Structure 1
Amino acid sequence: MPLHLQRDLDHLHHEVLSLSGVVEEMLEKATRALFERNAHIADEVIGIDIIVDEREVQIEEECLKALALHQPVAVDLRRIATVLKVNNDLERMADLTVNLAERAKAVIEYPTFVIPPRLARMADMAKGMVADVLDSFVSMDSMAAARVGATDELVDRMNCEIIEELQATMRTSPDQVVPALHCFSASRHIERISDHATNISDDVIYMVDGVIVRHRFSGGGDVGSVTSG
């Protein structure tokens, strides 16, 4: 591999990891804001988003520049393509943490509303997925990435259970409808964050093994194409 290409790949890797650290911090603060009912922390999350947006654009521009300048192939091309995809997923995660922070600020206005305890467990699970999938990206460990993707089904199931609980609350306590709806949205935001962690797990598998695993259906074989390089 040419020295200049290696240097640029290492720089891109470092930049996206730096961005991932910011997004992880946003997620941690957004969940704290919700469960501690802390508007100050929620505002911190909202204020950080502009930084993530700027860095996401910068990383994308550097990826495109590397593609044009070096015209990489095989594993080097997969690495840059993966950085592009991970970069986009991280930006979307950041947007969702902002949405979560906004829901946290809304719930604060209803001090008697009880946030379902399962939502805290679901948030911890999603945060674990994000941390684990980023570790798999750093270590280029496709098996660890696959384990993260398998966890998403548990988060989806928990989200459905929380929504059912909130719907029951809204039926029995009409005065709690508004905060329950905010909590409903918060649960969906957390579930979507876990979906983006799953996207990154798929991208790590592609980067390491050259296999596209998106859109696979159980019992239906491989819907995505398989590449090698």
Structure 2
Amino acid sequence: MRRLFDEELADLDTSFTEMGLLVSETIQHAVQTFLDHDRSGANEIIEGDKAINQREIALEKKTFEMIALYQPVTTDLREIVTILKAVSVLERIGDNARNIALSTIHVKGNQRVAEIEQQIGETGAKVAKMVADVLMYYVNDDAANADRMSIVASEVSEDTKHIRDLAVESMKQDPELVNASTDYLVVGGYLKRTSDYVTDIAEWIIYKRTGKIVELNPGASSFI
């Protein structure tokens, strides 16, 4: 029985990690399609969100089945609960990528602000790396580095505040940029929320490793 449990838990870990890598690539792709004004790529991301949702459902079903069948305790239970909680967070990050893709379809090609888009590109790359890093910390059971994700999230918060300030200023200077700047605000907000979601996953990694519930994102900062 123990051998079967360990094999299924290893499969569960692998499936969770694969979903996380897919989400990390998707959020990065979504930002790039927005910057490239790539509507075709945006539509692919919107369609691909269904696959992420299906992975979430399959993983949740598997965790419930394992809990019912094996009735795990202590560290085994914490690992399954961590996946159960974190997979729903990954799905919400996938939703953010889809929503950025929707903004790509809205914005017009002749209404672009290079400085803002450069900041969005840099922030998007940082956020995508956060997702990839937190997955590595999960695989390595690295609670110490997971705890430090709040530092990067604070940097993203400052970056997205800068995006907001630039967008507001562009609206003041040129009324014709109101629509584009609104989309910049929205995309910045999705990136900020994604970084917050990463800290949520980091909290569950710490719980998995130590059994302690921590708060890495007390909500001191917000964005639209």
With normalisation by structure 2, the TM-score equals 0.92
Query: For the residues of structure 2 that align with 1:186 and 1:172, how far apart are their CA atoms?
Result: 20
Match in the other structure for 2:17: 17
Consecutive unaligned residues in structure 2, runs of 5 or more: 219-224
Match in the other structure for 1:136: 137
Give the Å deviation of 1:31: 1.1
Identity of aligned residues (%): 27
Match in the other structure for 2:48: 48
SS at match of 2:104: helix
Which whole-Å deviations, capped at 9, do the CAs of 1:5-52 have from their partners, x for residues lacking one?
A: 212211111111111122122112101101111111111111111111
RCO greater where, 1 or 2, for CA within 8 Å and sep 6 or more? 2
Query: For the residues of structure 2 that align with 1:172 and 1:216, how far apart are their CA atoms?
Result: 35
Which whole-Å deviations, capped at 9, do the CAs of 1:190-229 have from their partners, x for residues lacking one?
A: 1111111111111111111111112676xxxxxxxxxxxx
The AA in structure 1 aligned to 2:167 is: L
Conserved? CA contact 2:143–2:206, under 8 Å: yes
Match in the other structure for 1:103: 103
Query: For the residues of structure 2 that align with 1:177 and 1:131, how far apart are their CA atoms?
Result: 34
Match in the other structure for 1:93: 93
Query: For the residues of structure 2 that align with 1:29 and 1:210, how far apart are their CA atoms?
Result: 35
Match in the other structure for 2:221: none
Question: Given the superposition, is the C-alpha separation of residues 164 and 174 from structure 1 closer, same or farther in structure 2, using an over 3 Å criterion?
Answer: same
Match in the other structure for 2:5: 5
The AA in structure 2 aligned to 1:8 is: E
Conserved? CA contact 2:20–2:131, under 8 Å: no
Query: For the residues of structure 1 that align with 2:21 and 2:130, how far apart are their CA atoms?
Result: 14
Conserved? CA contact 1:149–1:202, under 8 Å: no
SS at match of 2:214: coil
Which whole-Å deviations, capped at 9, do the CAs of 1:57-86 have from their partners, x for residues lacking one?
A: 111011011111111111001000000111
Q: Which moved further from structure 2: 205-214 or 87-96?
A: 205-214
Q: Which runs of 4+ in 1 moved over 4 A?
A: none
The AA in structure 1 aligned to 2:83 is: V
Conserved? CA contact 1:136–1:144, under 8 Å: yes
Query: For the residues of structure 2 that align with 1:195 and 1:34, how far apart are their CA atoms?
Result: 21
Match in the other structure for 2:174: 173
Match in the other structure for 1:37: 37
The AA in structure 1 aligned to 2:159 is: M
Query: For the residues of structure 2 that align with 1:151 and 1:32, how far apart are their CA atoms?
Result: 21
Question: Given the superposition, is the C-alpha separation of residues 36 and 215 from structure 1 closer, same or farther in structure 2, using an over 3 Å criterion?
Answer: closer
Query: For the residues of structure 1 that align with 2:145 and 2:163, how far apart are their CA atoms?
Result: 28
Question: Given the superposition, is the C-alpha separation of residues 168 and 216 from structure 1 closer, same or farther in structure 2, using an over 3 Å criterion?
Answer: closer
RMSD: 1.7
Query: For the residues of structure 2 that align with 1:75 and 1:3, how far apart are their CA atoms?
Result: 16
The AA in structure 2 aligned to 1:98 is: R
Query: For the residues of structure 2 that align with 1:166 and 1:114, how far apart are their CA atoms?
Result: 9
The AA in structure 2 aligned to 1:19 is: M
Consecutive unaligned residues in structure 1, runs of 5 or more: 218-229
Task: Count how many residue pairs are aligned between Structure 1 and Structure 2.
Answer: 217
Match in the other structure for 2:113: 114
Question: Given the superposition, is the C-alpha separation of residues 122 and 216 from structure 1 closer, same or farther in structure 2, using an over 3 Å criterion?
Answer: closer
